[in-house]
Structures are given as C-alpha cells and as structure tokens.
C-alpha cells in the first residue's frame, strides 16, 4: 500500500519574517501583497486578533498598528531560499519528494513503516529536524493517498486528530475516520473550491464524509473525472502519483501593478521589457521555446470615476524563441499597437504561450534566428549565468530602464538575510 506524507510549513511567509528577528517572537506579523496592498499571510498572533486574509492594508493599518501588528512587504527571495532549504531537509527522509508549493511538499513513505515503531514518530522526527536546522515549524499529515494526506495535515494543524503537529490516518480505524470526516466541511478537501462546494451543497453533500460516501460514477457524471478521483482517494484508493519532476508550464506569465499610475508610453515600455526579461529567464530555465507573445495593459478598475481602458493582443512569432531580445521586441510591437494616449495605466503584463521543448526546435526556412542576432543560446546562457552568480539585474537590457519609478512599492521589505552578503544579520557578542 502506498503511503504519503504532506509536510506544510506553518504560516510560512510570516514565519520567515520572524525567523531572523527575535524581538518578533510573540508579535503579530502580517505580510502584504505587491505594492503593499492586501494581507496575504498572517502569524498565529495576527490570526488571533481576527485580521482577515486579503484585507486592504490601508483600511486596517491604524487599528492593526494600535494592536501591535508589524507589517512586511513580500520578500520572495527570502521565502524561496528558505523553501529550498526545507526541501533539502525533507530529501533526507525520503528519496521521493514532490514540491507541491513554496510551503508544501509530498513525501512517499512506502516501505518506511519499519523505520520507527509508528509512522507518526517518523513525522515527529521530520518536524524536529526542520525546527532544529531551520527554525521553522511544520505539520505532517500521513495517509495512503495524497488527498487524504492533505486532509490529515489539516487535522494536524487544527488539532482535530493526531498530536504535536502530526496526524497519521493509517492507524485510525475507518469508523473513527468516518466520525472525524463528518465534522469537517467539504470545502477543506483538496481540489474542492468554493464553486464546487456550492454545487455539492445543492446535492446535500456538506461534509467530507458525505462526499466520501457518494457514488464516484455519479460524481463523474455531475462534475468531472478529477472530482471522481478525489472521491476514490478519500476512500483510500491512490489515484494520484507522486510527481518528482514538476511538469513544464504550458504558459508563463509576468505581471505587476505599478506603484503609481503611468501616463507615458515610455514607462510602460520599460515595465513590459522588464516583465519579459523575467518571463524569458523562466522559459529558458524549463528549457522551452515560446511560439506566441501576449501583452495586456489596463487602467485602475477600482477607480470607476476615471477613464477606463484595457486591451490585450497576442501575436505568433516567426519562429519559436527563448531569446529575450526577440521576445522583448515583439512585446514592444504589441504594446505600441494597443497603447492609447490619455489614460492612466495601473497594470501591465505579458504572457508566453504555445511553449515547446527546446529539443523540438525546428530551423527556420528563412533563417529568422540568424537575422535576430547570431548564437542567441550562447548569449542568453552568459546572461543567465552572470545574473545567477552576481544577483538579478546585474546584467540587463537597456529597454528595462534604470530608475524604474513604476516598479512595485515595497516600503516594508525585510533584508535578504540568506541571499545577499551585505544583508546578513549581525550578531554582537557582549
């Protein structure tokens, strides 16, 4: 029987912010979205104060600060680095690890039952190792399917079952599971979103147990094969294998809201070029080529009294490419076609579509690649290597701009404690 563990970092973004500042130990901390807009993460203390997820910071700031809440801008470099370190630790507990998200990973524990008297004890070893080595708290859910492992993790986190942050469904009887599942809302099931939950409610299915007992074939007819698999997984039949290698993305998107409204095309061009540089780097990292470039721009939809305009356009490339120069040139062509004077723009974005693996590249009949500049792969490789070694934007294209007054607001950004030498925390001996 397969056995999976889902390891989830508790309040990950907020925990990362607390990690290097001991004065924040019992302090309520929130992390804000791009441009310091909305609350996207909360520490346990902030949750206890009733601060809602997604609350606009400007609306709750005064009240929150009176309660001692400390707010930080999203520090994605810090979170990504600590996430990679967590995965490195987890790799010591299983040879098969699937990184599901920045703060969640699945481990395959089939055959590990003899490592400890109980798998729950193995889960405790995982928790202790991550805590001791990285200072981060995790919860562990163990079960015979990935869907049940996610649910077991939820039970561990909410202290509905198990103990000390670990819940092992493999040692709980089916009758006990039925009683437990009857108390859990169906919306807590992995893959059951709000819309599906509403449709299930119309069928009288409101709890995990009710969904588990529903005929899978009926669910398939009413919903999809995906939800049918979810029902079978809730019954203990493993339908979802571990994905040790993440599948290549079918599209790559890069977009941001601006720190201020933009009225000049030149500034929009800089932003689009910058977003394209980021997307092109991701494209090369997954060893793919893009066949279509899409660009969109829009004004601020939250200010309906101001003139509104939004437009997007996608164009196929003469030949699939991963060359930042080529992709940027086409993106700027599109921007010039959809741009309209007289509007204040709030957001722009680009998307790379029709992705194909690099090894499927076909030479152009008309030599388009050579016309765009010789040896593009070698040049892009040098660009990526320099930026990887010395930091992002060490080497960039002039089209991306220098001052970048449009880039997103991050006035509450914490230091990059683990990725920049000059921002390492200093410890003073007394």
Domain with 308 in it: what CATH number?
3.30.1490.100
Whole-model pTM over 0.85: no
The answer to whether residue 358 sits within a structural domain is: yes
Is there a contact between 258 and 347 (Cβ–Cβ < 8 Å)? yes
29/12 Cα distance (integer angstroms)? 11
Q: Which residues pair with 356 in a beta bridge?
A: 289
Q: Give the pLDDT score at 233.
A: 93
Is there a contact between 68 and 28 (Cβ–Cβ < 8 Å)? yes
The answer to whether residue 127 sits within a structural domain is: no
* Three-class SS state of 107: strand
Greatest CA separation found in the chain? 71
SS3 content of the chain, % helix, strand, coil (to 5): 40, 20, 35
Strands 4-9 and 39-42 turn out to be unpaired
Burial class (CB in 10 A: 0-12, 13-18, 19+), 321: buried
254/150 Cα distance (integer angstroms)? 29
The answer to whether residue 179 sits within a structural domain is: no
The answer to whether residue 208 sits within a structural domain is: no
260/422 Cα distance (integer angstroms)? 29
The answer to whether residue 58 sits within a structural domain is: no
287/422 Cα distance (integer angstroms)? 32
The answer to whether residue 311 sits within a structural domain is: yes
Q: Closest by alpha carbon to 375, among 336, 413, 337, 325? A: 325
Strands 252-262 and 345-353 turn out to be antiparallel
Q: Identify the helix (H) or strand (E) that includes residue 77.
A: helix 76-90
Q: Which residues of 354-388 are buried (b: 16+ CB within 10 A; e: fewer)?
A: bbeeeeebeeeeeeebeebeeebeeebeebbeebe
Which domain range does residue 270 map to? Answer: 252-400
Torsion angle defined by CA atoms of residues 155, 157, 163 and 169, in that order, rounded to the nearest 10 degrees = 30
Number of domains in the chain: 1
User: Which residues are CB-contacts of 292 (< 8 A; sequence separation ≥ 6)?
Assistant: 314, 315, 316, 317, 352, 353, 354
Please state, as a whole number, how many other Cβ atoms lie within 10 Å of the Cβ of residue 87: 15
Q: Which residues pair with 119 in a beta bridge?
A: none
List the structure tokens of 423.
């921002």
285/276 Cα distance (integer angstroms)? 14
The answer to whether residue 387 sits within a structural domain is: yes
323/340 Cα distance (integer angstroms)? 28
pLDDT tens digits in sequence order for the chain, 430 residues long? 789 999 999 999 999 999 988 889 899 999 998 778 889 999 999 999 999 998 898 889 999 999 999 999 988 888 888 999 999 999 999 888 898 888 999 999 887 665 556 889 999 999 999 999 999 999 999 999 999 999 999 999 999 988 889 999 999 999 999 999 999 999 999 989 889 999 999 999 999 999 999 999 999 999 989 999 999 999 999 988 887 555 666 788 888 888 788 888 898 999 999 999 999 999 998 888 998 999 999 998 878 888 899 888 888 898 889 999 999 999 999 999 999 998 999 889 999 988 888 766 665 555 554 444 456 778 888 888 888 877 777 777 878 877 666 666 677 778 888 877 777 777 777 7
Is there a contact between 178 and 44 (Cβ–Cβ < 8 Å)? no
Length reported for the chain: 430
């Amino acid at each position: 029987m397969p056995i999976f563990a889902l390891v989830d970092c508790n309040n990950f973004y907020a925990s990362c912010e607390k990690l290097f500042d001991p004065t924040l130990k019992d302090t309520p901390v929130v992390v804000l979205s791009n441009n310091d807009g909305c609350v996207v993460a909360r520490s346990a203390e902030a949750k206890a104060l009733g601060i809602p997820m997604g609350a606009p910071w400007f609306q709750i700031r005064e009240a929150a600060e009176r309660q001692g809440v400390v707010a930080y801008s999203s520090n994605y470099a810090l979170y990504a680095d600590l996430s990679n370190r967590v995965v490195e630790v987890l790799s010591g507990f299983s040879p098969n690890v699937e990184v599901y998200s920045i703060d969640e990973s699945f481990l395959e524990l089939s055959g590990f039952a003899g490592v400890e008297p109980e798998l729950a004890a193995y889960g405790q070893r995982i928790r202790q190792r991550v805590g001791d080595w990285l200072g981060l708290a995790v919860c562990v859910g163990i079960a015979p399917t990935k869907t049940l492992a996610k649910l077991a993790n939820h039970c561990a986190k909410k202290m509905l079952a198990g103990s000390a942050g670990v819940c092992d469904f493999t040692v709980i009887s089916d009758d006990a599971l039925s009683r437990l599942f009857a108390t859990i809302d169906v919306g807590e099931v992995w893959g059951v979103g709000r819309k599906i939950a509403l449709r299930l409610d119309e069928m009288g299915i409101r709890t995990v147990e009710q969904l588990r007992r529903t005929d899978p074939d009926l669910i398939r007819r009413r919903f999809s094969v995906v939800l049918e698999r979810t029902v079978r997984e809730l019954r203990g039949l493993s339908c979802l294998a571990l994905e040790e290698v993440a599948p290549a993305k079918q599209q790559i998107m890069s977009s941001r809201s601006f720190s201020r409204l933009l009225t000049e095309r030149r500034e929009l061009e800089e932003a689009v070029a910058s977003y394209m540089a980021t997307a092109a780097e991701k494209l090369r990292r997954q060893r793919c080529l893009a066949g279509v470039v899409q660009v969109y721009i829009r004004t601020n939809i939250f200010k309906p009294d101001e003139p509104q305009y939004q437009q997007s356009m996608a164009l196929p490339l003469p030949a699939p490419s991963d060359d930042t120069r080529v992709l940027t040139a086409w993106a700027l062509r599109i921007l010039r076609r959809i741009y309209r004077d007289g509007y204040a723009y709030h957001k722009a974005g680009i998307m790379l579509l029709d992705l194909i693996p690099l090894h499927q590249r076909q030479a152009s009949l008309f030599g388009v690649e050579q016309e765009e500049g010789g040896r593009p792969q070698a040049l892009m490789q040098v660009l990526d290597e320099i930026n990887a070694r010395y930091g992002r934007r060490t080497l960039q294209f002039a089209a991306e701009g220098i001052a970048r007054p449009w880039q997103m607001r991050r006035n509450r950004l914490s230091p990059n404690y683990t990725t920049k030498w000059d921002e390492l925390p200093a410890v003073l001996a007394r």
